[in-house]
Amino acid sequence: MGKVSKRLLIVLLIGAFVIPMFVGCDNDTAPPTDYKAEFLSLLKTKVNESGAATLTISGENLTVAFTGGKTVAQIKAAAETLVTKFKSETSTGTTLTIDGKTYTLATLDDTKLIELKEQVAPLAVNPIDYSANVVYKSNTFTLEGTVTFTNIP
């Protein structure tokens, strides 16, 4: 073997050992997104920005405290705005089951909101069981817990 061939062989052997070491060390890789936590954070932010209520989250248990001095009409308008927002944030298949009755977010309208309010109002003094199947940013996950309403006008 000539000098050039030996040098080329040494460079290739070194490359064969060194290159995989650099390829395996990708420090720019972001950790995977926790879409459930991101969705809950967005939900909290949007409810709190509504001015009609504040949302506190403990695990997957939700507490909605209505803001004092708000009328039922103001709260209903804020709820409609939130429904519209979350229709745009989620995909087909997002559902909410509360006290055994399931609502599909894509078809939630004024009539269904009134029905939901009438279903929940008598139960609102205690935590109410809920579950939700959420399709958010092409990821599907389930939320399960209780929702408690306080300061109901």
Burial of 59 (0-12, 13-18, 19+ CB in 10 A): exposed
Domain count of the fold of the chain: 1
Where are the extended beta strands (E) located within 7-138? Answer: 53-58, 61-66, 95-98, 101-104, 128-136
Please report whether residue 2 resides in a domain.
Answer: no
Please report whether residue 9 resides in a domain.
Answer: no
Please report whether residue 83 resides in a domain.
Answer: yes
Determine the pLDDT at residue 76: 83
Please report whether residue 93 resides in a domain.
Answer: yes
Determine the pLDDT at residue 26: 55
- CA angle 14/20/24 to nearest 5° reads 150
Please report whether residue 45 resides in a domain.
Answer: yes
Determine the pLDDT at residue 67: 86
Please report whether residue 18 resides in a domain.
Answer: no
pLDDT averaged over 10-residue windows placed end to end, the chain, 153 residues: 60 60 57 88 92 92 87 84 88 91 89 84 85 94 92 76
pTM score of the predicted model: 0.74
Please report whether residue 80 resides in a domain.
Answer: yes
Determine the pLDDT at residue 123: 78
Please report whether residue 128 resides in a domain.
Answer: yes
For residue 131, what are the domain limits? 35-150
On the CB side of 93, how many CA atoms lie within 13 Å of its CA?
11
